[in-house]
Amino acid sequence: MIIGVPKEVKDHETRVALTPAGAKELKAAGHSVLIEQHAGELSAFSDDDYQAAGAEIVGEAGHVWAHADMVVKVKEPVEKEYVHFRPGLTLFTYLHLAPLPALTEKLMERQVTGIAYETITDSLGTLPLLTPMSEVAGRLSVQVGAAYLEKSNGGRGLLLGGIPGVPPADVCIIGGGIVGTNAAKIALGMGAKVTIVDRNLHRLRELDDIFGGRVFTLASNLHNVTEAVRAADLVIGGVLIPGAAAPKIVTAEMVRGMKRGAVMVDVAIDQGGCFETARPTTHSDPSYEVDGVVHYCVTNMPASVPNTSTLGLTNATFPYVQRLAQGVKAALLADSGLAEGVNTHEGVLCCEPVAVSQGKQWKPIHSLLQ
């Protein structure tokens, strides 16, 4: 198979979908690897590194898209990349289609097999390709939030951990999953007061054990969320419904009741966001204010630490790349969890949460493969 890796073009997207080590293994297995010039440079992988691994460096993204049997990316294609879609192409990347009907339509129209990292499951029912970037984003969310609490960045002028005689900032984390757990680790490490809100009582008990009672846990309901957000200096949104649009947990009315200069970081923004006042932002223009509350809603947060993020992501994705390179249909039939990642195939939408979010018809991938 010919595997192609174009350079990411989303605003300040600095990650790359394949490392030189991965290229070397694919080459050793008899595959060809096309890497767009400078694709790995911002993740600290040079063209020379890829060439030494046996990959071919090409000067234009169009050449990669046109000649590859499977294109491996990090982020969902942006509009200027839609022109490269064609029947028979397999696209393996984060897609986050629920809030992107135009991309969904174009993948179906061009009959691309779109396999989304974020909907692949493993034998435990977890999301193995979403986990590493959720870990990065969760940890980053606190660092970012702490920076935006500084007065020069529009915040209240708080030091997250306080000092002796001065209380620390109050951090409210919405969602106790991978993002929330990693955010709590960093917030606690920086000395903040941390509250985690989740609707799953079993998960709240687990978190109480994990953190030895050092975090406050709250069952999610309208009253508790309202009060927790009102008291918070920093609110982090980490709610996930696999493949579907994120529910709006924090309403505009709740935001109006928050402290002036408080900060909100919506890690769920690439699935539409879990704050009603959230809208996607970029690394070039990352924040804005609503009712005096600073919002940070960058859709590709891990791109700010690309070396760590690329290594963490490819540790998880590369075994799937290897399987797909041996034959896409065979790989999907052999692994039902990998098949769950198929969002579009031969003009058909195959992901139920995306279909529900967009009001479209869908069919299970298994019925199409058989």
Active site (catalytic) residues: 96, 270
Distance CA 120, CA 138 (A): 20
* Cα angle value 275/349/134 (rounded, 5°): 40
What sign for the dihedral angle of Cα 167, 171, 172, 173?
Answer: negative
Structure tokens belonging to residue 131: 């986990």
If you search the block for the tokens 């019925």, which residue do you land on?
367
Distance CA 134, CA 182 (A): 8
Distance CA 370, CA 365 (A): 9
Looking at residue 69, its amino acid is D
Is the separation of the CB atoms in 278 and 237 below 8 Å? yes
Among 25, 206, 256, 240, residue whose Cα is nearest residue 131: 240
Query: Phi and psi for 99 in degrees, rounded to 5?
Result: -90, 15
Structure tokens belonging to residue 238: 């980490």
Distance CA 195, CA 193 (A): 7
Q: Where are the beta strands (DSSP E) in the chain?
A: 2-5, 32-36, 56-58, 70-72, 90-93, 113-116, 170-174, 193-198, 216-219, 234-237, 263-266, 287-290, 293-296, 342-345, 348-349
* Cα angle value 274/283/22 (rounded, 5°): 95
